[in-house]
């Protein structure tokens, strides 16, 4: 049985690769993908999620945009690392589907409520959507199997190449 999971990300090349790997694995069932500001502006990271899922022919996966900026500081994008689009370099298709008409937190809460078993939350970008979900829906904490974070730096964030390592 595949592990149910949601991915919260800010694509970026690293997050795009994480999406490819997760969706290629028969051991994982990606129930939703949410985006937040981080490597680029929230409009661009949401568009990048839609472009990646279009490339991977997965319009069946619900997508929603979330946090527009960190909770405790101004947004600092990593265009010096990921380019102006957030995914500069590869030629990606234009999105063939639209995001859900809800926020990332609303989509994550809905997936948790509707799931028959606890869901793993994989956060590969800023933790803002995760923090907002946990703060606004304490009744759903037990529906989260675990939170897996791709991160490793405190403070100002990824300001230069290798800054998140």
Tens digit of pLDDT for each residue in 114-144?
999 999 999 998 999 999 999 999 999 999 9
Asked whether residue 3 is assigned to any structural domain, the reply reads yes
pLDDT at 158 over 80: no
Asked whether residue 111 is assigned to any structural domain, the reply reads no
pLDDT at 4 over 60: yes
Whole-number pLDDT of residue 164: 39
* Residue partners of 68: CB distance under 8 A and separation at least 6: 36, 37, 42, 75
Q: Are 106 and 136 in contact (CB under 8 A)?
A: no
Asked whether residue 74 is assigned to any structural domain, the reply reads yes
Determine how many CB atoms are found less than 10 A away from the CB of residue 156.
Answer: 9
CATH of the domain at 33: 3.90.245.10
Query: Residue 88: which pLDDT band, with cuts at 50, 70 and 90?
Result: low
Determine how many CB atoms are found less than 10 A away from the CB of residue 82.
Answer: 27
Q: Are 43 and 66 in contact (CB under 8 A)?
A: no
Asked whether residue 53 is assigned to any structural domain, the reply reads yes
Tell me what the pLDDT averaged over the chain comes to: 89
Query: Residue 38: which pLDDT band, with cuts at 50, 70 and 90?
Result: confident
Does an H or E element contain 54, and which? helix 42-55
pTM of the model: 0.89
Cα 57 off chain centre by: 18
Query: Residue 41: which pLDDT band, with cuts at 50, 70 and 90?
Result: confident
Asked whether residue 105 is assigned to any structural domain, the reply reads no
- CA pair distance 132, 4, nearest whole angstrom: 21
Asked whether residue 141 is assigned to any structural domain, the reply reads no
Q: Which domain holds residue 35?
A: 1-100+117-126+146-165
Asked whether residue 150 is assigned to any structural domain, the reply reads yes
């Amino acid at each position: 049985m595949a592990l149910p999971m949601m991915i919260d990300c800010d694509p970026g090349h690293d997050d795009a690769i994480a999406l490819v790997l997760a969706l290629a694995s028969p051991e994982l069932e990606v129930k939703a993908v949410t985006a937040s500001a981080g490597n680029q502006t929230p409009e661009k990271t949401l568009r990048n999620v839609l472009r990646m899922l279009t490339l991977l022919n997965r319009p069946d996966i619900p997508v929603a945009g979330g946090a527009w900026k960190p909770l405790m500081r101004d947004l600092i994008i990593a265009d010096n690392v990921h380019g102006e689009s957030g995914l500069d370099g590869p030629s990606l298709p234009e999105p063939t589907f639209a995001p859900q008409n809800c926020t990332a937190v609303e989509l994550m809460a809905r997936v948790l409520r509707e799931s028959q078993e606890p869901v793993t939350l994989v956060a590969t970008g800023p933790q803002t959507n995760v923090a907002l979900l946990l703060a606004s829906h304490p009744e759903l904490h037990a529906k989260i199997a675990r939170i897996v974070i791709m991160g490793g730096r405190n403070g100002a964030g990824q300001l230069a190449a290798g800054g998140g390592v």
